[in-house]
């Protein structure tokens, strides 16, 4: 650290000498938690078991969704009340605690149909309303939807009966498994129907008020011909930027089964530009048995299907936009990975904004089921920066049913732990090393003059930092003049908070805070930066700069006493008694 003393010459304007120095405050570095580690800020251990009292959970999928404000929506099929099984929705705060502003003690329930209704999928609309999708018995199995307001009440603006629910019957039966919301907020639901004695892909699309979209298929419904040699099942759906609908599942091809995909245009017709046979469908065998459980569309238009295969547990297949295998991915477009010591099955997949693929499911170790997550690079190789060699497991839950990635990159995985509990696990995602520096100008400052602090926020990556905030607790003895930032907004007076939003990898933001010192002496200014994205190196998130402020005499009360004689010689003496100037002559 260099300290420079500024020597003032005699007979210069009356300013006190200033000594200027900078000091970087050092705090002990915290232990770095890596991507794939359990997030100990969530329920202290990263694993939360949530009792469903007074309900019980039936053995069906446990879907999950995340609101834009970070609140977590869980769904389950609950039982043991009059009328059979029913939909149960639970909302949690971002820390995993029950959100008491939703429903009754954070829970909302609805029964649809004559007997049992089973929940399969959850969606959050742009306006925050929650759509639950599942089955109802009418008496045949049918699509069933319910929409809840943001406070957990059934939305009476949804559904033909004005009660927040609706059902859709298919020939023989229709069982939904997945759903998606289009940019125009219409709802697409996919599942399994029956046609010519076989199980087939079935779809329905609804307007925002729940009415069938009659421009889609026949009366808002589509029942496809069988894919492959006999039965085919639709388990997942993803929407392309051009409004085409990609559906994934499984189908038989002779005595074996494989991944089955179909792509539909915006009106529900099979897209002839997709698939090898120009019929909008395809089958990808992996070993003797495979089926898809999840599907996602990358930003470059490539399609990732994920599921399980007899040859290696977790299975991924990537296609180009035309449905051809992407040979740059894995081995000729396919990847298989066994997580457990004996077997593993995949239940869900998401593609991160950076193109990495995160899959969740169940792995078996020494006869014990464990929740398992694996992350893959965009070329299909395991991501060694995640967990142990790209894999993370925990015995805290005996498996996974669904996966979601929060806006801050943390990974949520759900399971129905028992008949009376949810099990929810949160893993750390990618991190961003956000560095804070501070300088000041001018180098010499006195009371009553403006001083500008320049704070630089730099993200060294490896990922974007979300919800970045710079907080500067201004010291006593200064008055705020202005605060500005090249990205976001700054507010406050004695406490300046600059909300910067997301700072991308390799990007920087400049914050300028102008103050006017009112007291001479050492001025210590401290600023810190926070982000929702985990930071591996918090030592550089805080900085303090010290500055010696000089006292300017132009603000001192003073008196000049002069004696005039022949030749007009004036002798001046400065005092601190009065501002009035007097003179005498002889």
Paired residues of 124 in beta bridges: 130
Domains of the chain: 14-25+432-554 (2.60.40.1530), 557-585 (no CATH)
So what's the pLDDT on residue 417?
52
For residue 539, give the 3-state DSSP assignment. helix
So what's the pLDDT on residue 83?
66
So what's the pLDDT on residue 225?
86
Structure tokens at 415: 């399971």
So what's the pLDDT on residue 152?
97
So what's the pLDDT on residue 1?
33
- Across 218-242, b (16+ Cβ under 10 Å) vs e yields eebbbbbebbbeebbbbbbbbbeee
Q: Are strands 432-441 and 421-427 parallel, antiparallel or unpaired?
A: unpaired
So what's the pLDDT on residue 82?
62
So what's the pLDDT on residue 60?
67
Phi, psi torsion values for 549, nearest 5 degrees? -95, 125
CA angle 463, 372, 378 (to 5 degrees): 40
Chunk the chain into consecutive blocks of 10 residues (it has 586) and report each block's average pLDDT, rounded to whole numbers.
Answer: 31 35 34 81 89 74 90 89 83 92 95 90 96 92 97 97 95 93 97 89 97 97 90 96 96 92 97 90 93 95 95 92 96 92 87 91 90 96 95 90 88 78 89 93 92 97 88 95 97 95 95 96 95 83 94 57 45 44 42
Contact present, 488 and 458 (Cβ < 8 Å): no
Contact present, 204 and 189 (Cβ < 8 Å): yes
């Amino acid at each position: 650290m260099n300290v420079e003393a500024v020597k003032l010459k005699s007979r210069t304007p009356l300013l006190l000498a200033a000594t200027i120095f900078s000091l970087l405050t050092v705090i002990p570095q915290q232990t770095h938690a890596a991507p794939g580690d359990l997030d100990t800020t969530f329920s202290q251990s990263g694993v939360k078991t949530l009792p469903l009292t007074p309900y019980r959970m039936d053995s069906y999928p446990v879907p999950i969704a995340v609101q834009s404000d970070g609140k977590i929506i869980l769904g389950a099929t609950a039982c043991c009340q009059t009328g059979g099984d029913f939909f149960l929705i639970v909302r949690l705060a971002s820390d995993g605690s029950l959100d008491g502003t939703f429903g009754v003690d954070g829970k909302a329930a609805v029964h649809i149909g004559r007997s049992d209704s089973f929940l399969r999928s959850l969606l959050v609309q742009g306006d925050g309303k929650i759509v639950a999708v599942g089955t109802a018995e009418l008496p045949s199995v049918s699509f069933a939807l319910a929409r809840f307001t943001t406070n957990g009440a059934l939305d009476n603006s949804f559904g033909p009966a004005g009660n927040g629910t609706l059902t859709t019957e298919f020939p023989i039966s229709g069982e939904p498994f997945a759903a998606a919301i289009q940019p125009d907020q219409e709802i697409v639901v996919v599942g399994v129907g029956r046609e010519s004695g076989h199980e087939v892909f079935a779809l329905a699309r609804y307007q925002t008020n729940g009415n069938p979209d009659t421009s889609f298929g026949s009366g808002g419904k589509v029942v496809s011909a069988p894919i492959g040699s006999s039965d085919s099942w639709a388990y997942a759906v993803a929407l392309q930027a051009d409004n085409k609908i990609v559906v994934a599942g499984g189908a038989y091809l002779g005595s074996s089964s494989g991944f089955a995909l179909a792509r539909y245009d915006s009106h529900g017709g099979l897209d002839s530009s997709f698939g090898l046979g120009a019929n909008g469908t395809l089958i990808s065998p992996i070993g003797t048995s495979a089926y898809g459980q999840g599907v996602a569309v990358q930003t470059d238009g490539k399609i990732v299907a994920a599921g399980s295969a007899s040859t290696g547990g977790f299975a991924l297949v990537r296609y180009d936009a035309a449905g051809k295998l992407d040979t740059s991915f894995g081995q000729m477009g396919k990847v298989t990975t066994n997580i457990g010591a004996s077997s593993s099955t995949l239940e869900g997949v998401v593609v991160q904004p950076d193109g990495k693929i995160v899959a969740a499911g169940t792995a078996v170790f020494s006869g014990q089921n464990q929740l398992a997550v694996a992350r893959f690079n965009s070329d299909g190789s395991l991501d060694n920066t995640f967990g142990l060699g790209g894999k993370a497991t925990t015995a805290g839950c005996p498996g996974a049913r669904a996966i979601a990635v929060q806006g801050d990159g943390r990974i949520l995985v759900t399971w129905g732990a028992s008949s009376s509990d949810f099990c929810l696990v949160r893993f750390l995602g990618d991190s961003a090393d956000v560095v804070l520096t501070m300088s000041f100008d001018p180098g010499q400052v006195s009371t009553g003059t403006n001083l500008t602090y320049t704070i630089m926020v730099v993200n060294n990556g490896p990922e974007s930092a979300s919800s970045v905030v710079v907080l500067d607790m201004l010291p006593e003895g200064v008055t705020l003049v202005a605060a500005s930032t090249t990205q976001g907004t700054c507010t406050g007076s004695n406490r300046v908070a600059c909300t910067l939003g997301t700072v991308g990898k390799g990007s920087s933001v400049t914050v300028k805070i102008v103050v006017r010192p009112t007291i001479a002496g050492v001025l210590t200014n401290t600023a810190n930066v926070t982000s929702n994205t985990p930071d591996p190196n918090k030592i550089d998130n805080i900085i303090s700069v010290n500055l010696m402020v000089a006292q300017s005499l132009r603000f001192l009360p003073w008196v000049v006493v002069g004696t005039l004689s022949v030749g007009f010689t004036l002798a001046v003496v400065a005092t601190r008694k009065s501002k009035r100037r007097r003179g005498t002559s002889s």
